[in-house]
Amino acid sequence: MIRLVATDVDGTLVPDGTSHINPEYFPVIEELRRLGIQFAVASGRQEDSLHRLFAPVKDRVFFISSNGGVLSTSTRILFTTPMEPSGLRQLLEQCRQLPECELLIAASQATYCQVGANPEFLRWLREEYRFTIEEVPDLEAVCQDAVKLSVYHKPDGKPHPATALVEPWKGRITGVVSGPEWVDFADPRVQKGAAIRILQESLEISPEETMVFGDQLNDVSMLRQAAYSYAVGSARPEVKAEAARIAPPLAEDGVLQVLKKLAEAKGAAVWE
């Protein structure tokens, strides 16, 4: 039987950078909870963006935000893994030299950008991602409690500029591709899969009782933490290779299709 379902958001449940979720998800999540199945949302987004997106059921799910940097409920932070400040400041300075990039620093309950950030970028974050963004004179001032540094670059068909920094920082700070526009940096201990493992251990749920969904490289660790792992049909090829099964693509609400069948089966762990 499945006792825990966890899913990525952008590219898996909603189009990247939007808040347009199919409302049919909410009664299905309620039904899964009625069946005793825990539900977790695992995303690179900040916590309050996820609260808004899942407002009808926010008191019924766990939130894994900032790619695993923060594990919480709607009312309480359960676990957080901050970055080492001195290393973050060095990386921040290098990221400032990247062409046509915007930077965000996420703490456990706030997200910061530098005063003077691109207004269109901030409008997009506030209106589409529904982020709460605080503008500060210098991002270095908020490095002490940071859990993630995000580098945005508008897709242009070329590799994201920040990918060039991933390998040089390996072992000290981990960088992951979180979508076509984003590269995220965090403490090496921070992974969606690590947060799922903490949740499993606290709830006494095994990987064999866990079902997960994802589409991007930052979801791979989560897929590895579940026996029932799905990549949506629109996922990156590397993610599909890691998943045990392929769900229909985002455009067909593939995750919703699988969850409806799980609810109909009363939580029985039966593949498509």
Same domain as 123, residue 176: yes
CATH code for the domain of 217? 3.40.50.1000
Amino acid (1-letter code) at residue 78 = L
Domain that holds residue 36: 4-80+190-264
Does 271 map to a domain?
no
Instruction: Answer whether residue 270 shows pLDDT above 80.
Output: no
Flag whether pLDDT at 271 surpasses 70.
Answer: no
Q: What is the pTM of this model?
A: 0.86
Domain boundary among 186, 212, 237: 186
User: Residue 75: inside a domain, yes or no?
Assistant: yes
Condensed to tens digits (0 to 9), the pLDDT of residues 49-78 reads 899 999 999 999 999 999 999 999 999 999
| pLDDT tens-digit readout, 80-117 | 999 999 999 999 999 999 999 999 999 877 899 999 99
Q: Which long-range contacts (CB under 8 A, 24 or more apart) does 68-75 make?
A: 68/42, 68/186, 68/190, 68/191, 68/192, 68/193, 68/194, 68/195, 68/221, 69/106, 69/108, 69/147, 69/148, 69/186, 69/187, 69/190, 70/108, 70/147, 71/195, 71/198, 71/199, 72/47
Residue 24 has pLDDT above 90, yes or no: yes
For residues 160 and 212, membership in a common domain is answered with: no
| Whether residue 114 is found in the same domain as residue 204 | no
Regarding whether 96 and 8 lie in a shared domain, the answer is no
How many domains in the chain?
2
The answer to whether position 203 is within a domain reads: yes
Last residue of a domain, which of 170, 186, 202? 186
Q: pLDDT tens digit string along 186-205? A: 999 999 999 999 999 999 99
Cβ atoms of residues 125 and 65 within 8 Å: no
